[in-house]
């Protein structure tokens, strides 16, 4: 396998790039550190100013912070920009020609990633799952702007028998678009992966979920392998509180879990040890391998049998766009897009 560079250029910007995501295979959405949200066309070498994060009546807390760590989520004509560990964000629907501000409560938002995910229903209508509080997410139809879960209770099924406070985290949609996964946490504190059926989440007044597992609180990466399998970055040393032992930082493996409450399915031991502390993790169904990256390791591809088939330390991606299987790297005003082939 090789890393193939698709685009790499200095973009004529007034301010440095803070975050980025692809809107198509040749267009990229950029957030600058001064709050400009731009669309840049690599083919035509043209840019379009979409909006500024200072738009609208200011919040008392200052609102969106363009200098903070942020993420951009895209789907067709939908662009969502949020502060990862803040309260504020924006939703732009280019097709319907509207811009909305979104906001969540600030309780422990600084350690809980802003939950956002985009999906289409069976009719092709765009929808968004988004956080409004530490323990509450809503689902909205982005064509009609109707919040489909506006009257949803925070009471869980079986609440009379147990109590479970759950902090939603980063969201991922299953390959078939029927479920969403939350890489959140619970008091203790522990990383906790929970899975929700989208149709049930909309129609059921109470919250029904499957608890996949709990692990040491490391904000670990979690992803779907297929509709019934979840992959979790796992380090047995860290789970047992051993973080200074020789070799502990490279004792990582990938644990596989059922996408319900049936527990663990198996484990993938890396044949070439990597320090996956704080790494991202994605699975490519067509290539049958994981893509992982971090500031520590650069980028690597890992097969289902643990082979590290590709590893490049000099290319450190900031973002991976699953739809296009492309990695984005940016520094100041320079942006590169590459693909593992």
In tens, the pLDDT along 73-100 reads 999 999 999 999 999 999 999 999 999 9
Is residue 159 over pLDDT 90?
Answer: no
Mean pLDDT over residues 237-265, rounded?
A: 88
The per-residue pLDDT for 140 is 98
The per-residue pLDDT for 158 is 78
CB 117 within 8 A of CB 91: no
Tally the residues of the chain.
341
The per-residue pLDDT for 162 is 65
42, two tokens: 């690599």
The per-residue pLDDT for 245 is 73
Burial 39-77 (b: 16+ CB within 10 A, else e): bbebeeeebeebbbbeeeeeeeeebbbbeeebbbbbbee
Q: How far apart are the first and last CA of the chain?
A: 5
What is the DSSP code string of 40-65?
A: EETTTTEEEEEEETT-SSPPTT----
What band does 156 get if pLDDT is binned at 50, 70 and 90? Answer: confident
Is residue 244 over pLDDT 80?
Answer: no
Task: For 201, list phi and psi in degrees, rounded to 5.
Answer: -65, -35
What band does 115 get if pLDDT is binned at 50, 70 and 90? Answer: very high
Is residue 161 over pLDDT 70?
Answer: no
CB 200 within 8 A of CB 258: no
Mean pLDDT over residues 191-207, rounded?
A: 97
Residues 166, 178: Cα–Cα separation, whole Å: 21
CB 201 within 8 A of CB 250: no
Sorted by sequence, the CB contacts under 8 Å of residue 23 that are 6+ apart come out as 29, 39, 74, 79
Fold type of domain 9-102: Thrombin, subunit H (2.40.10)
Of residues 242 and 166, more confidence is placed in 166
Of residues 297 and 260, more confidence is placed in 297
Full-model pTM? 0.96
Is residue 179 over pLDDT 80?
Answer: yes
Residues 315, 325: Cα–Cα separation, whole Å: 16
**pLDDT tens by residue, 57-77:** 889 999 999 999 999 999 999
CB 316 within 8 A of CB 279: no
The per-residue pLDDT for 163 is 64
**pLDDT tens by residue, 325-341:** 999 999 999 999 999 99
Handedness of CA 52, 55, 61, 62 (dihedral sign): positive
Share of the chain above pLDDT 70, in %: 98
The per-residue pLDDT for 192 is 97
Mean pLDDT over residues 276-280, rounded?
A: 96
Residues 135, 147: Cα–Cα separation, whole Å: 17
What band does 261 get if pLDDT is binned at 50, 70 and 90? Answer: confident
């Amino acid at each position: 396998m090789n890393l193939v560079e698709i685009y790499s250029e200095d973009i004529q910007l007034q301010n440095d790039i803070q975050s980025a995501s692809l809107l198509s295979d040749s267009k990229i959405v950029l957030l600058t550190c001064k709050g400009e949200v731009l669309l840049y066309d690599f083919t035509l070498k043209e840019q379009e100013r979409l909006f500024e994060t200072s738009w609208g009546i200011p919040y008392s807390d200052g609102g969106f912070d363009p200098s903070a760590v942020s993420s951009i989520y895209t789907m067709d004509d939908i662009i969502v920009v949020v502060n990862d560990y803040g309260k504020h964000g924006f939703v732009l629907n280019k097709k319907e020609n509207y811009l909305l501000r979104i906001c969540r409560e600030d309780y422990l938002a600084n350690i809980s990633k802003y939950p956002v995910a985009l999906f289409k229903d069976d009719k092709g209508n765009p929808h968004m799952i988004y956080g409004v509080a530490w323990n509450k997410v809503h689902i909205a139809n982005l064509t009609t702007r109707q919040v489909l879960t506006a009257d949803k209770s925070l009471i869980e099924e079986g609440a009379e028998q147990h109590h479970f406070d759950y902090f939603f985290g980063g969201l991922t949609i299953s390959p078939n678009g029927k479920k969403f996964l939350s890489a959140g946490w619970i008091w203790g504190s522990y990383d906790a992966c929970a899975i929700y059926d989208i149709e049930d989440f909309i129609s059921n007044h109470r919250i029904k979920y499957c608890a996949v597992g709990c692990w040491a609180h490391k904000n670990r990466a979690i992803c779907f392998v297929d509709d019934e399998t979840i992959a979790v970055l796992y380090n047995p040393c860290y789970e047992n509180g051993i973080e200074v032992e020789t070799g502990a930082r490279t004792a990582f493996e990938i644990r596989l879990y059922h996408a319900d409450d049936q527990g663990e399915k198996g484990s993938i031991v890396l044949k070439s040890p990597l320090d996956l502390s704080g790494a991202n993790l994605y699975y490519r169904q067509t290539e049958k391998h994981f893509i992982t990256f971090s500031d520590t390791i650069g980028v690597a591809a890992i097969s289902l049998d643990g082979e590290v088939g590709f590893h490049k330390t000099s290319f450190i991606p900031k973002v991976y766009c699953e739809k296009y299987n492309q990695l984005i790297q940016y520094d100041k005003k320079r942006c590169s897009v590459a693909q593992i082939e």
